[in-house]
Amino acid sequence: MIKHLRYILILTVLLNACSNTRYLAPGQKLYTGGKVKITDKDIKKSDANALSDELGALLRPYPNGSILGLRVKLYIYNITKTKKTKGLAHWLNTKFGEPPVLVSAVNLEKNSSILQNRLQNVSYFQAQVTGDTVSKGKTAKAIYTAQAGPAYKIRKVTFPQGNENIDTAIAATFAKTLLKPGENYNLDIIKNERIRIDARLKEEGFYFFAPEDLIMRVDSTVAGHQVDIFVAVKNSISERAREIYTIRNIYVYPSYSLRDTSLMLDKAVPYRWYNMVERRKTISSFAFANTVLLHPNDAYNRTAHNNSLNRFVNLGPYKFVKNRFEDVTPDSPKLDIYYFLTPYQRKSLQLEILGRTTSANYTGTQVNLNWKHRNAFKGAEALTVTLFGSTDVQLGGNNNGYNVYQAGITTTLSWPRFISPIYPKADNAYIPHTNLTLGYTLVNRQKLYTLNSFNASFGYQWKENAHRSHELNILNLTFLNPQSVSQLYLDSISNKNHPGKPRNPALQHVIDKQFTLGPSYGYTFTNTTDDYRTNTFYYNGKVSLSNNVYGLITGADTTAGKVRKLFGAVFNQYVKLENEIRFFHKTSPNSTFASRLIVGVGLPYGNSTQLPYSQQFFIGGPNSLRGFQARSIGPGSYNPIKTVSAGDFLPDESGDIKIEANLEYRPKLFSIVRGALFVDAGNIWLLHSGGRAGAAFGKNFMNDIAVDAGFGLRFDLSVLVLRTDLGVPLRVPYVYSGQQRWDLNFSRSVFNLAIGYPF
């Protein structure tokens, strides 16, 4: 009965939301929107529809918003309308309500004029537009009829022919002009052409030139509905705008404050091609050799100027950066440059308390205490020391209190330059960095084991441009040593309490000693931040090596009993390749198809038969196969449940090879809420089975693929995205309890709560 009442209540609300017109005063009509009709028969239907949509976006006012045809905000406004200035009704009315948009607010003449002007700006010089309203009961809409007329096309484009520097420079840009003969006249393209020419001139020293100094003369008297366009410099521009300016002196103020009223040029200390100006030495002069990209006698160049500013900002020690150019020599075009840098406090202490979810489906908190020195050795080096502690609880599955506690320290020293005898040329907007990291972590999994983990790395990070970045670590070192392992865990490895169960090598591998030493290189390409693109792409590739040369020199071969050590410890030897590709396609401004493919391969050899646990691949969980618990499936068709008895904990399954694919449709539903429909597929495998049936990668690997599907919601709160997903397993990689691999079973659904998109 209660269920039926709930449905009746929802239906009542929806029906009432449809009847907003009953709140209108006599004579009022609710405006339901406008439409533009293109009447020209010689305009192709597809072009007419596109033109109609473009013009429709210019109409004002907008009608009341609706969801699936229901004007919910207007309904809330109507039922909460009150004369009070506070209270729940007033809050709902002003916060969520929307007053009615009446047809009397529509100015047909003004809208018609705007549409006609727009048509003339996009080549339809003879366009005529009229508007009228069409009523139906207590609603009305506006209909605009547009007779566009013939489209005027560009016949030819003429650039300046003079011999002055400015004329020659403009003429030299002709090859990349946006004005193409045969294309329709378009005022927006003409404006962009002026901006393009100005941008090119700014690269060649014309510091005082501006787009407004150009005039585009259009001759529309040409026969056959054509126009000729003449690009010219206005006669009224200043003499400075015609000149090529070069750099005279460059001054850097590393400790500038608003209290400084003097340029203090008497304190300027020359260093290479720029001058340092400060009362007290706060930073070494060489720190800016990587940021001041303009040089004396160079022609002014906007790109070099902007890149210099970006590098100053990203250098690290400075909160504010501003610059000034001065025209210093009236008899010849010269500029002096001043860079004013306002520093942060050199040292800072920050406490962070975080809520988090991990790839293993743990939920918990982490506390970080960060100490930072932004100019550690007076060369803009950033020294960061972080003390951290965390506790994580695994939600769902068979946890039984096996929580994870971690504590540790990480120290990072970052130089804003290459510390290397080889210094790649870098004159873009991005500062290269050399990074040294040292860390220690104590990992305690309650009731099971405690691990000591030491890590160190030294390498470089740099960006070619906004889309391409690189990370090269000359050295990566990891040493993991078990400190104490409980008898419960040891018994679980051997299944001592369950003689019928086989040994569990996955549990043993977690507590194996790990010693990796070697380089790694990663490359990333992404244009996903380019919002104007319909299709965007992301690729990340990485190769990691461990003890390859040393293992070959010593003849390491663990399968032949030739186990070798380095610094008294058995080392891991492998080659690991990782690839991740993402592709995004916008189906509309408010919906996207997102896809991802991950292929990772680790090749253990010599001193190793499988990758160390910390380097292995995992699958499942909120950012992977969302219909399965994290790390609960694989490797291959191996069934981990066979080695586990009731009440025991499930091992985290890992592998040397990973293949994963994801497809997700992301429509915007309303306000801050987006939906998602997704399908995930993939698995992990071992290179060698290690005694686990079906765990090794083989030619029939497709039979081992796990598949899930589901739906979810994303709440975009600006500062973060809160995500919920419900995944349903469709196919498991093994046969269990008489069930087939393909088995839609909602009782095994997995609910995921996470922060951010899965990819």
pLDDT tens-digit profile of 120-169? 999 999 999 999 999 999 999 999 999 999 999 999 999 999 899 999 99
Q: Does 670 fall in a domain?
A: yes
In this structure, are residues 392 and 404 in contact, taking their beta carbons and an 8 Å threshold? yes
Q: Which residue has the tokens 């549990």?
A: 507
In this structure, are residues 353 and 265 in contact, taking their beta carbons and an 8 Å threshold? no
- In angstroms, the CA 452 to CA 442 distance is 5
Question: In the beta sheet, which residues pair with residue 102?
Answer: 30
pLDDT tens-digit profile of 701-719? 999 999 999 999 999 987 8
Q: Does 419 fall in a domain?
A: no
pLDDT tens-digit profile of 88-99? 999 999 998 999
Q: Is the peptide bond before 622 cis (omega within 30 degrees of 0)?
A: no
Q: What is the CATH classification number for the domain harbouring 185?
A: 3.10.20.310
CA distances from 230 to 122, 158, 214, 405 (A): 18, 5, 10, 73
- In angstroms, the CA 679 to CA 247 distance is 58
The pLDDT confidence band at residue 489, using thresholds 50, 70 and 90, is: confident
Residues 6+ apart with CB under 8 A from 563: 556, 570, 607
Q: Is the dihedral of CA 218, 219, 225, 226 positive or negative?
A: negative
In the chain, the amino acid numbered 221 is T
Of 83, 115, 147, which marks where a domain is finished? 147
- In angstroms, the CA 567 to CA 513 distance is 14
Tell me, yes or no, whether 506 and 639 share the same domain: yes
Q: Which of 189, 179, 125 is nearest to 156 (CA)?
A: 179
- In angstroms, the CA 591 to CA 643 distance is 45
Q: Does 559 fall in a domain?
A: yes
Tell me, yes or no, whether 101 and 217 share the same domain: no
Instruction: Name the more confident of 531 and 526.
Output: 526
DSSP 564: -
Angle between helices 88-95 and 72-79 (to 10 degrees): 150
Written as one string, the DSSP assignment of 446-470 is TTTEEEEEEEEEEEEEEESSSSEEE
pLDDT tens-digit profile of 414-467? 999 999 887 767 779 999 999 999 999 999 988 889 999 999 999 999 999 999
Tell me, yes or no, whether 119 and 22 share the same domain: yes
Tell me, yes or no, whether 511 and 653 share the same domain: yes
Tell me, yes or no, whether 22 and 124 share the same domain: yes
In the chain, the amino acid numbered 300 is Y
DSSP 193: H
In this structure, are residues 347 and 382 in contact, taking their beta carbons and an 8 Å threshold? no
Q: Does 361 fall in a domain?
A: no
Q: Is the dihedral of CA 463, 464, 468, 474 positive or negative?
A: negative
Beta strands in 589-705 (DSSP E): 591-604, 657-670, 673-685
Tell me, yes or no, whether 584 and 697 share the same domain: yes
Q: Read off the pLDDT of each residue in 203-213 and give the average, rounded to a whole number.
A: 97
Q: Does 315 fall in a domain?
A: yes
Angle between helices 45-56 and 108-121 (to 10 degrees): 130
CA distances from 636 to 651, 705, 734 (A): 15, 8, 8
CA distances from 25 to 28, 30, 135 (A): 6, 10, 16
pLDDT at 753: 85
Q: Which of 203, 138, 147 is nearest to 170 (CA)?
A: 203
In this structure, are residues 282 and 378 in contact, taking their beta carbons and an 8 Å threshold? yes
Q: Please report which residue ranges of 271-375 form alpha helices under DSSP H.
A: 302-314
Tell me, yes or no, whether 591 and 668 share the same domain: yes
Q: Which residue has the tokens 């130089």?
A: 415
User: Model's pTM, two decimal places?
Assistant: 0.82
In this structure, are residues 457 and 435 in contact, taking their beta carbons and an 8 Å threshold? yes
Tell me, yes or no, whether 132 and 166 share the same domain: no
CA distances from 24 to 102, 138, 507 (A): 9, 8, 71
- In angstroms, the CA 595 to CA 661 distance is 7
pLDDT tens-digit profile of 636-680? 998 876 655 555 566 778 999 999 999 999 999 888 899 999 999
568 C-beta neighbours (distance < 10 Å), count: 6
Tell me, yes or no, whether 285 and 320 share the same domain: yes
- In angstroms, the CA 628 to CA 543 distance is 28
Tell me, yes or no, whether 601 and 736 share the same domain: yes
- Residue 736's domain comprises 486-755
The pLDDT confidence band at residue 17, using thresholds 50, 70 and 90, is: very low
Q: Which of 360, 456, 366, 447 is nearest to 407 (CA)?
A: 366
Of 315, 343, 371, which marks where a domain is finished? 343
Instruction: Name the more confident of 198 and 631.
Output: 198
